[in-house]
Amino acid sequence: HHINQCRGCYRKCILKPGIRCGTFRDDMDMILKEMVSSDLMLFASPYYCASYTAIMARFLERCLPLWEVEIVGELGTMNAFRFINAPLKGKKAVIGLVQDFKDPSTARPALKAFLHNLGQTYLMNIIHKIHVTDVRDPGDIRKKEDVLENIFALGRKLARGRR
């Protein structure tokens, strides 16, 4: 997919109805529509530099057109906006993170960022977290048969509509 880098011109996106970026015509037009029509989304990334990847950050930044707000307070404060429409609110999301470190606690900042951005920024319902450690080289994930079976079992469960 082709996704341009957000330019931070938020008011072109969030102060108008609709779910289109006010600056770019790229693949996000289609992706945003698909997100709004979805019941469940998986957001997955490798763990790089104490967070998810820059590609995931770019993607999440470009999801801002999913907000429609009005200014009701002082800009630059948490009370500046009132939501008129937040089409991802309450939608189910699964977070996936894969890292090379054996110690899962090293990824706390990345998981916290995922939880904040999806749960608080986009108001999604995080129903599950997948966190796979000790994956360094191509093919390492295939050696984690128990982890993969748990992930497939989760997929089957979610596909049947159960949490």
DSSP state string for 7-38: -S-THHHHTSSSS--SS--STHHHHHHHHHH-
| Confidence check: pLDDT of 116 > 70 | yes
Distance CA 10, CA 63 (A): 11
- pLDDT, position 132: 96
The CA distance from 13 to 109, in Å, is 28
Mean pLDDT across the stretch 61-83?
A: 90
Which residue type is seen at 109?
P
The pLDDT value given to residue 125: 97
Q: How far is CA 37 from the centre of its chain?
A: 15
**With 70 as the cut, is the pLDDT of residue 101 above it?**
yes
Q: What is the pTM of this model?
A: 0.88
**Residue 52 pLDDT:** 94
SS3 49: coil
Task: Note the pLDDT tens digit of each residue in 8-66.
Answer: 887 788 888 889 888 999 999 999 999 999 999 999 999 998 899 999 999 999 999 99
d(CA 104, CA 121): 25
Sheet with 92-98: list strands edge to edge. Answer: 40-46, 92-98, 125-132
Looking at the predicted structure, is the pLDDT value of residue 163 above 70?
A: no
pLDDT grade for 162, boundaries at 50, 70 and 90: low
* pLDDT of res. 145: 95
* Tokens representing residue 33 in the block: 């529509």
